[in-house]
Structures are given as structure tokens and as C-alpha cells.
Amino acid sequence: MATTVHDRRATAPRARPPAPGAPPHPPLSVAALAQLAIWAGAAAVLALWWSDTTSVVGTAGWLTGAGRITGLLAGYACAVLLLLMARVPVLDRTIGSDRLARWHAMGGRYVVSLALAHTLLIIWGYALTSHTGVVDQTTTLVFHYPDLLKGTIGFLLFLATGVLSARAARRRLSYETWHLLHFATYLAVFLVFGHQLSNGADFVGNRPAQLAWYALYGGVAALLLWFRFAVPARRALRHRLWVSEVRPEAPGVVSVYVTGDRLDELRAEPGQFFRWRFLAPGLWWAANPYSLSAAAHPSFLRITVKAAGGHSEALARLKPGTRVLAEGPYGALTARRRRAEKVLLLGGGVGITPLRALFETLPGEVTLIYRARRPEDLALRAELDQLAAARGAIVHYVVDEPVEYSSPLTTRALRRLVPDLAERDVYLCGPPGMAEAAQRALRGAGVPRRRIHHESFAF
């Protein structure tokens, strides 16, 4: 699928170690600690059930007990879900936005499954205990137990969100629609919270457990309000961002230059992204993630966007002076992840944007491979040539067409371009299919998984 169409070669400078003071690879340790904390919380929830249960007798008792356990775990998982998407900087910059999103997606499946199991088990167990039918018991629970009508509506919202998040349905949705529908999760959590305390056998009459639950949800709510609403609002007032220029770069690709006040205070690192909200008709309601395509400058920030949907296509029509709200910076695809002295940057399509910023700033011996469909789709090529010449680096431009020059993205092909591939850190960014093929090829070349640094913006 690819052939090198142009190389910019020069004598590479002597490799230098990573910047002093940068941790060798914090994501692994922080991620492990975060997972340990999550599982410890789940164990504490199970301990709450165990301490409050003297015995389990008969089928009804076992069903009700299982319903209590799944309900407790579902309630705890809801809080974890919200925390993962609270955009807490220390988590985002160390674990990475894409990994947090994957944990969130997996956690969402757990929540829906646990909530469904809780609902069915409790209804069945209560029906056996009261010697009534399942339908009669469901009616009694929903309409006569405190807060259960609201809890039922919240449960149905969770189910709807889970169905819409399934891969088959997700492919039919734009990012903006999917993102907007996910705000229903906040409403769902609010609706189901009350019935946990008013009906949960492990909370009724157990003041310490109630206080712990309030503290859990209150803490998560505070983080959400601060980092997702208060901080962006404060930065909007302080930095007063606006579009200064929109510049075509390639067919369907434009760079948007954004300027404002005190941009150096944002402390954006090469490889990071912001969630951009452009206050223009049809765009103001959606905040989309776009990486910086150049190192942050005290006077401006730049993103480079390919028209792949309604939102990204509309950016080409932005007028200078359009006000901008930007949340961030986010992401861990930065120099902090570097472990080796040599680096390979491997990008596909508009995935070149964070790699272009890294190519400008990473010290030492850096090689760039940039894959695109056609030669004219190689965005920012002139800049990359200038950077390669200035730092004495190597750039391989690789295209899919014309067909007679095609070659697959394989271990053999990568080794031919970069013979010392196994000795390098690899920063990878591109479409999902290209990224998956590249990771297989890199692993086949002997690059350890911990030295393949990749962030995906697929939702």
C-alpha cells in the first residue's frame, strides 16, 4: 500500500538523551496505581455487603444477595466512569486520554451489564420472597418504593447510551452527536443515585456507609465541575482566544491559527491536543479534539484539520475574528514518554499533526515516516523538509498511489527504511487501520510494547 516517494537525508546529529528531569516512562506506573485503586474500591464495596450480611438462605436469598452485590458494584462503577472522564490533568498527562477513554468504554459495558443484572435479580428475588409474579413485583418496586421511578428512568437512559455506544451503532453517528448523547449519562447517574441510599439494604440505617457514598459521589462531582466547567470558563476569560487565520495545506486540509492573551501560561507540550469550541453558527455546541500541529508559540496556537465530517469540514469556512474556547492541553503523546535515545515518528494522513510538533522539538536522532494516500495529500510537507534540513534528520514520504509503487506496511518494509528500528522509541499517530497494522509490524520488528507510544482519537 505504500512506496517512498521522496527522502530528505542528511547527516544525523549525535543522539542526545531525553531532557533532564523527564521521568523515563510514567504512564505505566501511574496506570498500574490507578487500576489498583479502582479494584481496591470494588473490594471495599464487596466488603460492605459482606459485613452487612449475616446469612443467605434459599433461592430467594441468593438471588437478592446477588442483586445487592451487582447493584453496589454498578453504583461504584458509575462514579469511576465519571472520574475517568473528568479530565483531571495528572491522569490525562500520565495515563493518556486514549487509555482513559478505553477504560471508560470498558467500564460503561460493566455498568450496563451490572445494572441489568441487578434489576433482574432483585425483581426475581423479591418476587420469590413475596410469592408474587414478576410483573406485579416490577410494578410494586417501580411505583411504590422511594426514588425507584427516577431510578428506572436512569436505568433506561444507561441502556440507551450503551446501545448507542455499541460499535455497529457508533459507526453511524458523528462525533458531535455521540458526544452530545453521552451527556445523558450525567442525568442517568443523578436519577439513580437517590434510590441507592433510600432502598439499598447496605445503606439504610448505616450512616458511615451513607457518608462514604456521599463523599465518593461528591468528590467526583467536584472534580467534574472544576475541570470540565470552571477551569475552561476561567481560561476563556483569561486568554480570550480568537481565529487569526485559516490557511489551506492540502486537498481538504486546512491549518487554523488561533491567537489570544498569555498563551504561554497554557504550557502546552508538543504532541498534546485541545478540545476546541468555535463560536460560529453550527459549531458552537461541539468541542472536538484537534492536536497542535506546531509547537505552541507565545503569540499563537495552530491546528491542522482534515475534512472528515461536518465539524471539521466547516473549519475551512471560519472567519478571522471568530471567538474560540479551548479545553486543555490534554494528552500524553509527549517527550515525557521517551525511553530510548533514537526516535521514529510514524504518521498517517492528518495524524502527522502531533508528530510534526514533536519533529520540531524532540532532541537527538529522529526519523520521520509520513504515509498518505497520494503525494498531494502530504500536508505540511514543505515545513517538514525545512525541519529535516535544519536538524539533519531523515524524512520518508510514503504514498498508496499510484498503485504500481504500492507496498504493504510490514515489518520488512519498516526495517528497510529504518534498519535500527528495534533500538528506537516509536511515536505513532494515524487512522485506526493504519495504526493497528503499524503496531503489528513494529512488534514483529522487536520494538517492545512499552516503547510504542500511540494515542487514538477514534470515539
- What is the residue-level pLDDT of the chain in tens, covering all 459 positions? 444 454 443 333 333 333 333 334 444 477 888 899 999 999 999 999 998 888 888 999 999 999 999 999 999 999 999 999 888 888 888 888 878 888 888 888 899 999 999 999 999 999 999 999 999 999 999 998 988 999 999 999 888 887 777 765 666 666 667 667 777 888 889 999 988 988 888 898 899 999 999 999 999 999 999 998 899 889 889 999 999 999 999 888 999 999 999 999 999 999 999 999 999 987 887 788 899 999 999 999 999 998 877 777 889 899 999 999 999 898 888 998 888 899 999 999 888 999 999 999 998 899 999 998 888 888 999 999 999 999 999 999 988 887 665 667 899 999 999 999 999 999 999 888 889 999 999 999 999 988 999 876 554
Q: What is the residue whose three cell numbers read 458531535?
A: 176
Q: How far apart are CA 87 and CA 377, in angstroms?
A: 33
Q: How far apart are CA 359 and CA 345, in angstroms?
A: 8
CB atoms within 10 A of CB 130: 12
Residue 394: its H or E element: strand 394-399
Q: How far apart are CA 351 and CA 41, in angstroms?
A: 37
Q: What is the residue whose three cell numbers read 418504593?
A: 145
Contacts of 291 (CB under 8 A, 6+ apart): 271, 272, 273, 303, 331, 353, 354, 357, 429
pTM of the predicted model as reported, rounded to 2 decimal places: 0.77
How many residues does this entry show for the chain?
459
Between 207-225 and 58-84, two packed helices, what is the crossing angle to 10 degrees?
30
Please give the pLDDT value at position 3: 41
Using DSSP, state whether 437 is helix, strand or coil: helix
Q: How far apart are CA 82 and CA 79, in angstroms?
A: 5
Q: Are residues 425 and 449 in contact, defined by beta-carbon separation less than 8 angstroms?
A: no
Please give the pLDDT value at position 170: 63
